[in-house]
Amino acid sequence: MKHPYAVPSRLAPDLARVQAYWQGLLRGGAEMPFADDVNLTDLPDLADRLLLIDVFDRPERFRFNSIGAGLAEPGLAGKFLDETLLAWPFAFLRTQCCATVESAAPTFLAQEGPRPYARLLLPLWGEGRTGLLLGAAALG
């Protein structure tokens, strides 16, 4: 079956840097880095296009933990995705989050139109499960 949010073999340079950063955090034979190892200040020039999303289970929910100023107005951090209107650049963000958790692997979404963008989500291990998602957007 084809993955609905498959990561292409070639990413925009900034997204490729975030993916390489995520891969660099892997320890030993782990398939995903630990959430505690992520530090957004490691990518200072991309900070305005990075986000962290908390993952909750039972029920599965997602909450903005940290969100770059280039992606949204202040005040979105701390809000659950299902309690807010997800407009540009967050179309299909909830389903992409679900796919990232379910696959335990990176996911990608690109949107065409007057304000195109691409979004990469990367899973992070915490509390015995995928507990956090690192996201990055390339804005067109």
Question: Span 30-50, mean pLDDT?
Answer: 96
**Of 46 and 4, more confident:** 46
Q: Return the CATH number at 112.
A: 3.30.450.20
**Does residue 135 belong to any structural domain of this protein?**
yes
Question: pTM above 0.85?
Answer: yes
- Please enumerate, as own/partner, the contacts of 51-59 that have beta carbons within 8 Å and a separation of 24 or more: 51/134, 51/135, 51/136, 51/137, 52/132, 52/133, 52/134, 52/135, 53/81, 53/97, 53/121, 53/132, 53/133, 53/135, 54/131, 54/132, 55/97, 55/101, 55/129, 55/130, 55/131, 55/132, 55/133, 57/129
Range of the domain at 53: 13-139
**Does residue 2 belong to any structural domain of this protein?**
no
**Does residue 114 belong to any structural domain of this protein?**
yes
**Does residue 8 belong to any structural domain of this protein?**
no
**Does residue 5 belong to any structural domain of this protein?**
no
pLDDT of residue 92: 96
Question: How many domains does the chain divide into?
Answer: 1
**Does residue 42 belong to any structural domain of this protein?**
yes
pLDDT in tens, 89-115: 999 999 999 999 999 999 999 999 999
Question: Span 54-79, mean pLDDT?
Answer: 94
